[in-house]
Structure 1
Amino acid sequence: MFARRLFDFPSVGWRHPFADFDRLSRQMDQLTRRAMGRPGLAWQPARVFPAINLTEDKDNFYVRAELPGFKADALEISVTGKNLTITGERKTSAEGEKIRYHRKERDAGKFSRVIGLPADVDADNVAAKMVNGILTITIPKAEKAKPRQITIN
């Protein structure tokens, strides 16, 4: 690629059929790099809070969410249909009016995270516990969603 651009390789006068697409791609890359590097631009990468893991065994789904610094009574958890909703508010201490941030990664405010569950659940028997900033929610599967052992006659 370098030799082709530097010396017009393989021959003078020959033009790559996709040269315009290559040029357009390079220009789009430059535009994106400039836009992402410019301070004060409205575009921000999406942040998902809280980070979760969703796992299952034959009887239950398990949702583990990272919620450092939260108290259990500051969260609301609900199950509707095949959706689990975790809602709360993250508060940070006031740091003063006349300060200048060099880096601000700790956002404060309300959040609501809806997690789609892969099967029907027994919403009446959901259990949750918080240990060391990790919220663990155990969601039993509905009887019709559990695997059944079939006996062969």
Structure 2
Amino acid sequence: MRRLQTEMNRLFQAASSQADAGYPAMNVYASPDGVAVMAEIPGVAEDELDISVHRDTVTLKGERRTHVDGLKGYHRRERVAGAFLRTLSLPFSVDPDRVEAHYRNGVLHMSLHRPDADKPKRISVNAR
């Protein structure tokens, strides 16, 4: 019984740690000019997505619906449905006028550019 209880506790901890990772899953790639974000959101219609940018924060909001016509119950249900909200903090401000977003094959691609005034400047040193 103790071994069964230990195994059940381990399974519940693993499931809760995966849920804490956040949905949708995102990869963020940084460069000196900004970041590229890729978010996996299969099954979400393009018009169900709401992307907002404010200073150094990007928010992705939407809803994934289940479309099962004529069926009343599940044999197995592994795909999560419902509303989601994911906020991502960046190490710099984003230029909201230069944000680009493309959605194809269930993957959202966003390019978030850093304002020119916020980019580091190289200072040359003159020796006299």
Out of 59, 83, 91, the position equivalent to 1:85 is 59
2:102 aligns with one of 108, 111, 129? 129
Q: TM-score, normalised by structure 1?
A: 0.67
Alpha carbon RMSD of aligned pairs, Å? 2.5
Match of 2:87, as an amino acid?
V
1:68 deviates by 1.7
Match in the other structure for 2:86: 113
Unaligned runs of 5+ in 2: none
TM (norm. structure 2) is 0.78
State the alpha-carbon separation in 1 of the partners of residues 74 and 103 from structure 2. 35
| Larger strand fraction of residues | 2
**Preserved contact between residue 85 and residue 113 of structure 1 (Cα < 8 Å):** yes
Cα 1:34–1:70 change in 2 (3 A) is: closer
Give, in angstroms, the shift of residue 89 of structure 1.
0.3
Count of aligned residue pairs for this structure pair = 120
Shift of 1:132: 1.9
1:121, 1:145 within 8 Å by CA — same for their partners in 2? no
Considering only CA atoms, is the larger Rg found in Structure 1 or Structure 2? 1
- Report the CA distance between 1:72 and its aligned residue: 2.0
Three-state SS of the structure 1 residue aligned to 2:121 is coil
2:61 & 2:10 partners in 1: Cα distance? 30
Q: Which runs of 5+ in 1 are unaligned?
A: 1-26
Matches within 5 A, 1:3-152: 31-36=5-10, 44-45=15-16, 46-47=18-19, 48-94=22-68, 96-97=71-72, 99-101=73-75, 103-152=76-125
Aligned-partner Cα distance in 2 for 1:117–1:62:
11
Percent of residue pairs bearing the same amino acid type:
34
Cα distance in 2 between the residues matched to 1:81 and 1:52: 19
User: SS of 2:7's equivalent?
Assistant: helix
